[in-house]
Every structure is written in C-alpha cells, then in structure tokens.
Homo-oligomer: A and B are copies of this chain.
Amino acid sequence: MKVQGKQFESIWLDEEDSGTVNIIDQRYLPFEFIVEKLTNIEEITEAIKNMHLRGAPLIGAAAALGIYLAVLKYNVSLPFDQYIVKIADTLKASRPTAVNLEFSVEYVLNKIIKVKDQNQRIILAKKAAQDIIHTERENCKRIGIYGLSLIEKLSKEKAGKPVNILTHCNAGWLACIEYGTATAPVYMAFDKGIKVHVWVDETRPRNQGARLTTWELSQHGVPNTLIPDNTGGHLMQHGKVDLVVVGSDRTTLNGDVGNKIGTYLKALAAKDNNIPFYVALPSSSIDWNLENGLQEIPIEERDGDEVKYMEGKLNNAIFKFLITDSETKVANYGFDVTPARLITGLITERGICKATKNDILKLFPEKIN
C-alpha cells in the first residue's frame, strides 16, 4: 500500500543486499515513518519482542526471515542442527501467544534441518520465508476481493454516495504484509474508484486505531475519521454507518470471534441498528478445536500501565506520560468475544460464510472429522 506516495509492504528483503530485512518501525507511527534495517537474528528477535512490528501474520513473516538470516550467518563453530534449533527456540519464545510465530518458524525449519549443503540451505530458507509472505499476501488479497462485493452492493444501493465503514483496532496492512484483513475490502474498493469513508475507533488502551489505522488509510489516500470508542453507537443510530468490518485474533468453529476488546460493544450496536457486521479473517486464525468462544477463548489480562500512561508528542519529541492518578487501580483485558449470533458473516480467503459451524465447514471441508 502507499506511504508518502510510494508503494510499500510491511516487511521486505533489501533489493541490493539480500542479507538485510527492512521493516517499518511501528513504534514511532504515526509520529515518524522510520524504516529499520535488520541484519541478524538478534535484531529480528528484538524487533518482534519489543514490538517494532506487530500483527500475527507480520510476526510470522519476520520470524521466517529471521531463520533465513540465521542460516545466512551460520559458521562452523556448532553443528548446524543444534545451532538452528536453539535459534528457533529463542525466536518462538519472543512473543509466546502468537500462533503464526511458531508455525512460521517450524515451516522454515522443516525445509532445512536435514539439508547438508550450506548454499542449498540458504536457497531453501529464503524460498520458505518468501512462501509464507506470499501466502499471507494472497490470503489478504482474496479476503479483499470477497469483501469488495459487499461494498460494491452498498455503493449501488447508495447510488454512489460514500459507503461508511466502521472498524476497530488495526487489522490493516501494517499487521499483515499487504491489504490487511478488515481493511482489504476497503483498499480494493478505493483502488477501484468506489467512494468509501472509514470511521476508525481509537481503540483504547493501546490506540491502534488512532495511531496505525488512520495513518495507513490516510497514506493510501482513503478518507477516514478518527472517533473515540464511545462514538460508534451514536453514529449507527443516526444512519452514519453502512457496514462494520473488524479482524479476529481467534475464531471458534461455531463462529464466535475473539478480537480486540470493545469489538463486542460495536457488534451489539450494529445488531440494534440493523447494520451488517462482518469479520475478516484468514482461516489460519480459526481454532478448529474450540466451539464456545465465551467459555473457551482465553482472554489476556495486560499491564495496567497501558491504561495509565500514554505516548504523545510534545515539542517534537515523543514521551510517555501519566494520564491518571499514579495510585489508580486498573483492569486491562486485551480482548473480548463477540458471539456468533451478532455476526452477519465471516469474510475468509475462500469466500464469505455465515458464522455457523455448518457454513464454516462448507468452505473448509477438509476440517470435517
């Protein structure tokens, strides 16, 4: 997608030096656009751990490229399999909750662990990492194409007037490679010349909407308006929202959706106002073992300081400042679960389906057992 008029993805191998991985250092967005160059596995691990990048698909891609860099830098002081397994373990532990991280590391590892020739290892590790990036990009693209049909339909119904889409958190290309999940249909529509406008939930306490979603939409030229998380219901009551699209961190087999805290409140408001509420997700985020989201999806409780402190700009420098009394007690849940009954449909890389076990399995019949 576009940044300052140029095409970017969220991670890429340097064209001139294939031993350098470029990432957008998301810690500084939207205040500064900084491309960071990572040249070894320690820097990749650090970037994942301290959230220079975030978003499950992007973390997976970075980890895969990390293994590739490790292979590239291998010298003979340790047997290769010992060397690479140790690195893989450290990498997997850098963000223990992201499923994609483990999957990506294992995927690259399996392609190279038994290969004896170092040049061959390098070629295979690079290809495996690029496969992962390709798959993530393709999945988002397909989600975009399927979701586009919803926006096209609404655009026709509104006789070409802007379609107003509300989203929560950042399920954008910054979390993926390109297009994003919830944002993919929006970018597709915009690029096709369909008039769209996005209401972006601020998404307290980490402000991913205010900091990342508004930034990436604006850079690509998509009209958008930031709103406090409290505002969406009012907008829906007054006909100012045509469609809600959000991402998902974990979806159960019966269609319950675990996503950023506050998603449930927007789903309730959409239902109350007869506004379609869609969840865009690659099937990799479906947990095929779970059926009851409310009972079974574990909800992370995070540090209260995320609520008590906020990053902001003062005199051109970025500071973290205290926005409550220092003694204030805080509860900070990272996610909530939106019951399937509130969801109009799931937009996956294989098409749109109802949020029911039956319909999900029709799209993914290989999961029936």
Contact = CB atoms under 8 A, between A and B. Distances in A.
A251 B30 CA distance: 40
A344 interface: no
Complex copy number for this chain: 2
Given A312-B310, A324-B214, A204 B230 contact: yes
Interface string A300-340: 00000001111111100001011111011111110111000
B328 A218 contact: yes
25 contacts: A30-B325, A203-B230, A210-B328, A214-B325, A214-B328, A215-B325, A218-B328, A226-B328, A226-B331, A227-B307, A227-B332, A228-B307, A230-B265, A231-B331, A231-B332, A231-B336, A235-B333, A237-B336, A265-B265, A265-B269, A268-B268, A311-B323, A313-B322, A313-B323, A319-B321
A126 interface: no
Nearest to A238: B294
Contacts of A262: 228-231, 233
A299 interface: yes
A158 interface: no
Contacts of A203: 230
A211 interface: yes
Interface in A5-28: none
Contacts of A294: 237
Given A202-B204, A231-B262, A234-B299, 6 more contacts: A226-B329, A226-B330, A237-B294, A264-B269, A313-B322, A319-B321
A207 interface: yes
A50 to B, nearest CB: 20
Given A218-B325, A321-B312, A327-B218, A264 B202 contact: no
A162 interface: no
A276 interface: no
B207 A204 contact: no
Interface in A216-266: 218, 224-235, 237, 260-262, 264-266
Nearest to A317: B321
Nearest to A320: B314
A272 interface: yes
Interface residues on A, range: 35 or more
Contacts of A237: 264, 294, 336-337
A364 interface: no
Given A202-B307, A218-B328, A312-B323, A264 B233 contact: yes
Contacts of A234: 261, 264, 299, 333, 335-337
A85 B337 CA distance: 58
Given A233-B264, A261-B228, A336-B233, A31 B325 contact: yes
Contacts of A260: 230
In the A-B complex, the 7 residue pairs with the closest CB atoms: A230-B262, A312-B321, A30-B325, A234-B336, A204-B228, A268-B268, A313-B322
Contact of A313 (B202, B230, B321): B321
User: Which among A30, A265, A327 has the greatest number of chain B C-beta atoms within 10 A?
Assistant: A265
Contacts of A231: 261-262, 331-333, 336
Contacts of A218: 325, 327-328
Contacts of A232: 265
Nearest to A311: B323
User: Which among A31, A203, A226 has the greatest number of chain B C-beta atoms within 10 A?
Assistant: A226
A323 B230 contact: no
Contact of A314 (B31, B215, B321, B335): B321
